[in-house]
Structures are given as C-alpha cells and as structure tokens.
Structure 1
Amino acid sequence: MKISILGFSCSGKSTFSNEIAKKLYIKVYHLDSYYWEDTWKKNELFDISSFIEEDNWIIEGNYLKHSLEERLNSSDYIIYIDCNLVIRLFRMIKRHILFTINPNGKNPISNKINLKFILITIYKSIFFQPKLIRYLKSNYSQKYLYIKNIKEINDYDQFISKLFNTQK
C-alpha cells in the first residue's frame, strides 16, 4: 500500500502519518527529515525516487517540485490534511519554543521560525492551497481524501476501516 499525505506546514501531517503507519505497519518517510540537512540548509542530494519504488510506504510532505506527479500516480491513496491558518501559526510558534527548550531529536527546521517563514505560510495558504486542492480533486478524485482537521479523527482504526470500505 502506498499513501501520500499532503498539507501545509503544521497541519498535522506527521502526527497523522505516524498514527496510520502504526496501524498499518508501513514505513513512513517524513520528507522534511530528508530534505533538510540542518536548519535551512537543503540536502542537495534529496531524491525520493527510491522511496516511490518500494512496495509499501507512507510519504508525508509536499515538496511539490520533487517527483510529485510520480508520487501521486504511484499512490493508492492521497490524503490532504487541511487546518485553519491561525491554528497552524500557533503550532509553528509552539514548535519553535519547544525546539528552543529541547532541540534533541527534533527536526532542525523547527528552530528557524521567522517572519519570512510565517509570511510565506500565510501567502501559500491564501493563494496556493486552493489551487493544490482543486488539482488533487480534478486529477486524482478516485484516490483523493480531504481531511479538514486531524482532530476530527478520534479513532484511527475506525478511520482506516472506513477509508478502505469507501475508497475501493
């Protein structure tokens, strides 16, 4: 099984991916962990082709310029997680504070929340997100699932059961 999970910064993609992976016993690839070598330093060798070739995976993250169509075409399910912009900005600030207190084991990008990043997040939410959602609906409607907020999912076993019964 191959599942792509998309959504903008701090929408809950990682949390959702980890929960689904535990239930399905599938490896999760958190693209932030591969794309960023260090705080705002990109991994120049970033390539997800080898992930896509595997039989089972959950790939979490956008990185639209990196094999997006190949990833989506290979996916059995494409799940888009939306979340209110204000909540996402709150989570961003909270993540930054928690990283500052205890940086061990955290994604280094969490350390660099700044005004530019916040403005980019707002811009993408207003202008780019609607386009991406329309693209997914029109090109992948048979395997696309939109989730307004992961907080709505109280029982992941029930969610997975419902997903497989309604999507196939």
Structure 2
Amino acid sequence: MKKIIVIGCGGSGKSTLARKLGIKLSLPVHHLDRLFWQPGWVSIDKEHMRELQEKIVSGEEWIMDGNYGSTLDLRLAACDTVIYLNYPTWRCLYGILKRRFHYRKKTRPDMTEGCNERLNWEFFRWVARFQKVQAPVIQKKIVACEHEKTIYSFSSPKQTEAFLQSLDKVKLQSSGGF
C-alpha cells in the first residue's frame, strides 16, 4: 500500500481516514478539495486540476482522498489500493451536518485556508442522491480494476476503524513485534 485513493460520499470521512492512514503508513496525503478550492471557495479549472493530480500520481508514494469523477480514471490507473467508504446515505448526511457544526466559521484541516465550512442545498442534495447517482458509476469502475488493485469497501465507520486497527497489527508483525 503505497499509492492509495480514498473515495466515497461526502460526509463519509474520507479526509479523516486519509489523514490517519498517512500517519500510520508514513505516506504523504493529498486532499483533492484542498487542490480544487482557492480561498473564498473559488475553484480552479478542470484541466489544471488534472495536471496537479498527474504530478501527484507520478510520485512513488501518496494517498489521495476525494471523488472528482472527471479524474477518477487517472487515480484508479495509478493507485495500488482503493478504499471505498460505501456508507448509507443517512450516515453521510449526519457526517456533513456534524462537520458543519464542528467547523462553523472555521476552515477544515483538509481544505484551503479561506474556505470556511459551509453547507448549501446543492451539496446536501448531492450527498442525499450519491447512492443512487454516483455510487453505481464508482462501483462499476472499481469492479473493472479489481484484479489489478487491492480493494477495500467498508459499509460502516466500525469496519473502517477495524481496518485501521489491523494495520497496527501488520506493522507490529513486520517489525518483529508481538
């Protein structure tokens, strides 16, 4: 696990998981939202976004979190591991509401400074419809590369946390620990 993408619905905890993985595996973490958004919620153009990701995926080790469907194929082709947070809609809606209150009038650690947390109807609706609209497309792309990549799909935060804990055990075993 040296080139990892973390994908899933907004509010599922992609950035938090990527950050934790980065610490556990000593890998650099790249949050796609931080790349895409400039201060004041001004987006960069899609071509520039692709160029930034091409530069990252040419590296030897990295973790990237975020969906950005227009560049998912690029990241899927370059990664060795896919982690898909396939949580229920209610859990993701809860996640974006919790995040909104937690980071009220502040910038999240995975965002560009000057992009204070916000929640608008468009994003709420995107999260509410994710399982019906985006998930089937993502799942189809994951299945297409399942023989070439290591795929992890988690349907609850409890499963994700168990996976993180299992990495500690693997690290101990590979270092000669108990």
Q: TM-score range by the shorter chain?
A: 0.7 to 0.9
1:147 and 2:154 equivalent? Answer: yes
Q: Superposed, which structure 2 residues align to 1:79-158 within 5 Å?
A: 79-100=83-104, 102-104=105-107, 106=109, 107=111, 111-143=117-149, 144-152=151-159, 153-154=161-162, 156-158=164-166
The match for 2:58 among 53, 57, 63 is 53
Conserved 8 A contact 1:40-1:112: no
User: Normalising by structure 2, what TM-score?
Assistant: 0.78
CA 1:72–1:130: 2 relative to 1, 3 Å: same
| In structure 2, C-alpha distance between the alignment counterparts of 1:135 and 1:155, rounded to whole Å | 22
Hey, what does 1:40 align to over in structure 2?
A: 41
CA 1:114–1:83: 2 relative to 1, 3 Å: same
Deviates more, 1:70-79 or 1:42-51: 42-51
1:78 and 2:86 equivalent? Answer: no
Hey, what does 2:175 align to over in structure 1?
A: none
| In structure 1, C-alpha distance between the alignment counterparts of 2:107 and 2:63, rounded to whole Å | 24
Aligned Cα RMSD in Å? 2.3
5+ residue gaps, structure 1, are 163-168
Deviates more, 1:90-99 or 1:152-161: 152-161
Offset at residue 39 of structure 1 (A): 4.5
Q: Which runs of 4+ in 1 moved over 4 A?
A: none
| In structure 1, C-alpha distance between the alignment counterparts of 2:116 and 2:146, rounded to whole Å | 31
| In structure 2, C-alpha distance between the alignment counterparts of 1:77 and 1:104, rounded to whole Å | 29
- Percent identity between matched residues is 22
**Aligned length in residues:** 160
SS in 2 for 1:129: helix
CA 1:74–1:95: 2 relative to 1, 3 Å: same
Offset at residue 25 of structure 1 (A): 0.5
Offset at residue 14 of structure 1 (A): 1.2
Hey, what does 1:24 align to over in structure 2?
A: 25
